[in-house]
Amino acid sequence: CHDSDGELHEFDSKWRNADCYDCFCSRDGIQCCSSFMTPVGYDEEKCVSIFNKETCTYKVVEKDDHSKECPIHEWVG
């Protein structure tokens, strides 16, 4: 299988791509799904979500002070 970056993967192989998606190559093609949960239940007026590609996680912080985390009440993934 060739992925969207043009890399070749063997059949029945698994990998995580640079966008934090877990992918699998089969004879039917490539299937990918997110390896992370996305925060949706937080105060969007006061806070902002920031994605870290190194850890494949979101952090929700105050817009005016990124050192203060905001409570998250709901995640989707």
Spell out the per-residue pLDDT of the chain, length 77, in tens: 999 888 999 999 999 999 999 999 999 999 999 999 999 999 999 999 999 999 999 999 999 999 999 999 999 98
Structural domain boundaries of the chain? Answer: 1-35, 38-76
**Residues 38-76, CATH architecture:** Single Sheet (2.20)
**Cα torsion angle, 10, 12, 13, 19, sign:** positive
Burial of 22 from C-beta contacts in 10 A (0-12 / 13-18 / 19+)? middle
The whole-model pTM stands at 0.76
Token readout for 60 is 């929700």
